[in-house]
Structure 1
Amino acid sequence: MPDGEDFAGRFLAMLAAERGAAANTLAAYRRDLTAAQEELGDLSVADADALASLGKAWGGLAASSLARRCSALRQFYGFLVDEGVRADDPSAALPRPRTRRPLPRLLSRAEVERFLALAEEEASAERREAVRLLTLLELLYGSGLRASELVSLPLAAVPRDAPFLYVVGKGGQQRMVPVSTRARQALSRWVALRIEGRPAGASNARFLFPSNGASGHLTRVRLFQLLRELAVRADIDPERISPHVLRHAFASHLLEGGADLRVLQMLLGHADIATTQIYTHVESERLVALVNARHPLAKIPSSR
């Protein structure tokens, strides 16, 4: 975005330095600002009427895409005001589409158990690829890791004495993630096999899940493929399987078991509790039963 490059660059640098925004987030914000400049020209001087016109110009976008672009612009203009570039903030004129975040697909406990059972059966012969897949699956469903967090885990993250992984999540934020007994057992098996057939001193040796190439780690795309291939063998519709679906199952099944929402927020690495609430697939009947059983008023007899 030539005319506003300096301001956009300073804005993106601020997001990276002060908010720890990830590279993908910064790239998305840059695309959104570029799209706005293609419609309006120099964004630093655009007025409220110009911003209001974006609703019509972007009328063909999905509500979620429009909301994301408008969010980027609101933050950009807030930055310009903070920096003294503008005295006014025209972003109130931007459209405010109503969006509802779609809930991820949900696997039942029985389906997850079938999925895990097949992975365990295939890993029983201690074949390297099968043990790796079992370990990946145990960490996705047993610890609720994001795909990007999982595939990029360094070997140093593997717990020795404490049953936790140290994970670097979105924005470079580090958190501790509990590792179940099952997952620790799978990890031990995998660590013993992971360097099999690898040249000493390979550049990918620092990763827990090194790629089959000369360097780097297993990719998210390959993880996705491995899970769908296992789904076919487990007679589960592969369209219903992804790393995020297993993360969602982790969250949903914990909530069903009575986990606290704030604890779940910490485990998932969510900055905002509102994001965690998307994972609440707890049935309304169970919530009513919980209130009736645990609320103090439930123990006071009704006067009627």
Structure 2
Amino acid sequence: MSNELEAFIEYVSIIKALSKKSVGAYKSDLMALEETLRKPLITLDSNSLLNALSIYKNKRTLNRKLSSVNAFFDFCYKNQFSTEKTKFKFSKIPKLLPKFLSYEEIQNSLNQIDRSTFLGLRDYALILFLYASGTRISECLALRREDIDGEWLHIRHAKGEKERMVPIAKVAIMAIENYLNEKKKDTLFIWSNYKGEKLSRISAYKITQKYLGVSPHVLRHSYATSLITGGADLRVVQELLGHASLLTTQIYTHIQKQNLKETVQVCHPMSKEQK
């Protein structure tokens, strides 16, 4: 390991106090480059580095390596180990539409749940609630009875500590009430396991995986997708999801565009004319 690289690792681990995992990633990425090229990184030109990194065909992996290299050279420049401010551009990764389920797919799965048992009632209510509210699983599992007021859901334990109010469908509230009425043990949190303990993220994942074959987060995407295709404004969806930035919500923009296109094709008379 070169002296400059050793100084950088010391900087990120002691001065910046990064996690062991982050420090390990930096160390692994940068040491691998020095070992491959058999030269200190500080002495290498841009072409040599890019050629060495070209072996990574996965763009996300490549960008992680580039991030490590950029952080190293930024450190060297600021500490006068280098007179040049070297920075590599990241590879563009196409934004993929998050996986989602249609209302019909969710409804068909819900119909398969045996609601004659307590756990069946809970699983049915949980899936229905996730789709009806669009909550993150952490927000869902932190809910208490007082957080549901009429047809409104008060999300107190939101990401970034930003509370929000979300309207929720009556059918989901009724499902929760039916489940709570069968609860033998009164608990602080709404969702609990068969022992009466707070339901864990792993258990929630197993429930949605069992009936839908997806993670709980897919139901959040399904909620947003249903709103967008139903004509909801993007900023309204942002508020309901609790996104700090509209940029995060814009992953659903092309759903909106596709829905508009399909509407025009169905409704506009000129779209039916033959060329």
TM-score by length of 1: 0.64
The 1:30/1:248 distance shift into structure 2, 3 A limit, reads farther
Contact kept, 8 Å, 2:238 with 2:249, in 1: the verdict is yes
How many angstroms apart in 1 are the aligned matches of 2:139 and 2:65? 26
Q: Which piece of structure 1 moves more, 271-280 or 155-164?
A: 155-164
Partner in structure 1 of residue 172 of structure 2? 183
| Equivalent residue, structure 1, for 2:52 | 56
Gaps of 5+ in 2: 35-39, 268-275
Is residue 157–residue 166 contact of structure 1 (8 Å, CA) maintained in 2? no
* Change in CA separation of 1:187 and 1:158 when aligned onto 2, cut-off 3 Å: farther
- 2:207 pairs with 1:226: yes
Aligned residues of 2:205 and 2:215 also touching (Cα < 8 A)? yes
**Residues 154-163 or 103-112, more deviating:** 154-163
Does residue 94 in structure 1 map to residue 88 in structure 2? yes
Q: Return closer, same or farther for 1:270/1:64 CA change in 2, 3 Å cut-off.
A: farther
Does residue 7 of structure 1 match 2:7?
no
Task: Report if aligned partners of 1:77, 1:89 keep a CA contact under 8 Å in 2.
Answer: no
- Confirm or deny: 8 A CA contact 2:63 2:91 kept in the other structure: yes
Verify the 8 A CA contact 1:165 1:176 in the aligned structure 2. yes
Offset of 1:168 from its aligned partner? 2.7
1:235 is matched with none
The residue identity in structure 1 corresponding to 2:88 is L
Contact 1:32 1:69 in 2 (8 A): no
- Per the alignment, residue 302 of structure 1 pairs with none
Secondary structure of 1:7's partner? helix
Q: 1:148 is matched with which residue?
A: 138
Backbone CA RMSD of aligned residues: 4.1
Match of 2:260 in 1: 286
For 2:231 and 2:58, locate their aligned partners in 1 and report how far apart those are by CA, in whole Å. Answer: 36
Corresponding residue number in structure 1 for 2:124: 134
Give the CA deviation at 1:133. 0.8
Aligned residues: 252
User: In the TM superposition, what whole-angstrom CA distance separates every residue of 1:157-216 from its partner, at most 9, and x where no partner exists?
Assistant: 63235612314344444433332222222222333334x2x5x8xxxx43332345685x
Note the C-alpha offset of 1:8.
Answer: 4.1
- The CA deviation at 1:116 is 3.0
1:208 alignment counterpart: 190
Q: By how many angstroms is 1:224 displaced?
A: 2.5
**Distance in 2 (alpha carbons) for counterparts of 1:64 and 1:31:** 18
* Distance of aligned partners of 1:58 and 1:254 in 2 relative to their CA distance in 1, 3 Å threshold: same
Q: Which amino acid aligns with 1:222?
A: S
Structure 2 match to 1:35: 28
The answer to whether the 8 Å contact 2:234/2:249 transfers is: yes
Are the structure 2 counterparts of residues 107 and 161 from structure 1 closer, same or farther at C-alpha, using a change threshold of 3 Å? closer
2:147 corresponds to which residue?
158
Contact preservation (8 Å) 1:128, 1:193: yes
Bigger Rg over Cα: 2
Equivalent residue of 1:165, what SS? strand
Shift of 1:279: 2.4
Q: TM-score, normalised by structure 2?
A: 0.70
Deviations 1:117-148 (A, max 9, x none): 334xx22x3x2211211221122111112233
Q: Which ranges of structure 1 fall in alignment gaps of 5 or more residues? A: 14-25, 232-237, 294-304
